[in-house]
Amino acid sequence: MDLTIAEIAQACQGRLVLSGETKSDISVTSVELDSRKAVQGGVFLATPGERVDGHRFVASAFEQGVVLAVVSKTPEQFEQETGCSSAGWGSYLLVEDVFLALRQIAAYYRQKLPVKVVGITGSAGKTSTKELTASVLSQKYEVLKTEGNLNNEVGVPLTLLRIRPRHQVAVVEMGISDFGEMHRLSWMAKPDICVITNIGQSHLDNLKTRDGILRAKSEIFDYLAQDGEVCLNGEDDKLSGLGEVKGRRPRFFGLGGTPGQEVYAREVKGKGLSGSDVLLQIGQETVSVRVPLPGVHMVINAAAAACVGKVLGLTPKQIAAGIEKTAPVSGRNRLVQLSEYTVIDDCYNANPASMRAAIDLLAMADTEKVAILGDMFGLGEENVRALHEQVGAYAAEKAIDRIVCVGEQSQYLFQEACRRAEGKCSITHFPTLDGLLEALKDEREAYVPQGCTVLVKASHAMGFERVVERLAGGHEKNSFFNSK
């Protein structure tokens, strides 16, 4: 890792206290917030937590070989506050805010790197687009991508600090919930290519309207490289109207539904839950490709990845190969094939647009269809009822055989689904997740019959991964419908 202790101190403008034989010009091996991941020659950041203060683990981090701890308390302050000894502490950098220091270190490190950074944001589809883009670019480049859900003001800097000299491109997912956050993420990442997947209805409690969401997401352009490129979903009404960004016209992708799309999919042929066959128009060239992730929304995400691939000089053949090699991610349209039924594991997050897309996906199944739907959070108090009702109406109109609603807010989804379905399907409401889990334990067949396809979808805070675990019962025949 091309970063010295002196540079870390410079980035944070902190007070460096060296001990023993530690020199400020030595290069560190890694930067970690979790002392259990601390390694020889690394740096440990003692972040404050809701339940545990990271300063309690400084000594154990030094036992594992770190050369520096970034702290907001001196050893004396730590001893006075906790009554614990600081005898195991080594060299430390004292700062006012350790989380700010993390961002400052990442921003400093990013400026040193010749790597191209692709920043991906949007109301839905960020992770799938990130996976597709990384798979495409891996056909030509050494690529680092965001792992898991590390897409916020802690996750993005940790991702940037994982970049090594061998990496040529970093694909960085960037998620926000309020104004100003994307500005700070962009300041760290300094993207060379910005991708916005769509402008939907998420985080309305802070951002209020889709125009507010557009404004907040557009902060990604604040630190776009001077010769940077912008790739936007041309099917989205808020994005398709955007003009020049820093004097350059955006590149649009989609389904060819609006003029001027540089990359678009046509002749889309759905193959059920196994994906879609499409003709992908990439500039003046056309290539046939199987998008292995099901749903039209995934076709658009694949077009986004192709757009980035085109910007970075990949051939249509390379782009198609990358798309076809993309594997699903747990919690996001992952198909879990069990002996009793098929589970669509899409429980990582939810907003009205992604709910509708997931219901569309379920509707493709040629079996009995079951939708287990939970609360959508972050919609703003004034929108909760109406937006849950819209999803309930949509599910009823899509001829889903069984709709299971879970959570306090989902009572509105339940009520509207009942009204629209007029008795044509089975609809149940559980006020709590525990109630559903008990029902699945005692009388699973009543809700999830043999041979059905079941969608599991809710906002992450609902904890619906427990539903997937209960349905799988530890007996997944094939964790991924498409093997890696």
Provide the percentage of residues in the chain whose pLDDT is more than 70.
97
What lies within 8 Å, CB to CB, of 386 at 6+ separation is: none
pLDDT category of residue 295 using cuts at 50, 70 and 90: confident
107-123 residue pLDDT tens: 999 999 999 999 999 99
In angstroms, rounded to a whole number, what is the distance separating the alpha carbons of residues 108 and 96?
18
> Distance (Å, rounded) from C-alpha 483 to C-alpha 88?
47
What pLDDT score does 355 carry? 93
Averaged pLDDT, 28-52 = 92
**Average pLDDT score over residue span 156-184:** 96
pLDDT at 330: 65
**Residue 122 — left, alpha, or beta (φ > 0 → left; ψ -120 to 50 → alpha)?**
left
- pLDDT the model gives residue 464: 94
Q: What's the confidence (pLDDT) of residue 476?
A: 45
What does the DSSP 8-state code read for residue 203? S
188 has a pLDDT exceeding 80: yes
Q: Which fold has domain 113-324?
A: UDP-N-acetylmuramoyl-L-alanine:D-glutamate ligase (3.40.1190)
Residue-wise pLDDT for 14-32, tens only, equals 999 999 889 999 999 999 9
CATH 3.40.1390.10 for domain 5-96: yes
Q: Output b/e per residue, 93-131; b: 16+ Cβ within 10 A.
A: bbbeebbebbbbbbbbbbeebebbbbbbbbbbbbbbbbb
Query: Position 299: which residue type?
Result: V
Which runs of E-coded beta strand occur in 293-419? 334-337, 342-346, 369-374, 402-406
Q: In the chain, which residues fall in CATH 3.90.190.20?
A: 334-472
* Residue limits of CATH 3.40.1190.10 in the chain: 113-324
pLDDT of residue 9: 97
pLDDT in tens, 304-320: 999 999 999 999 999 99
Give 331's pLDDT tier (boundaries 50, 70, 90): low
pLDDT at position 251:
97
CATH code: domain 334-472 is 3.90.190.20
- Cα 436 to Cα 182, 430, 446, 456, distances in angstroms: 37, 6, 12, 12
Q: Which residues of the chain form CATH 3.40.1390.10?
A: 5-96
Distance (Å) of CA 323 to CA 130, 271, 319: 11, 16, 6
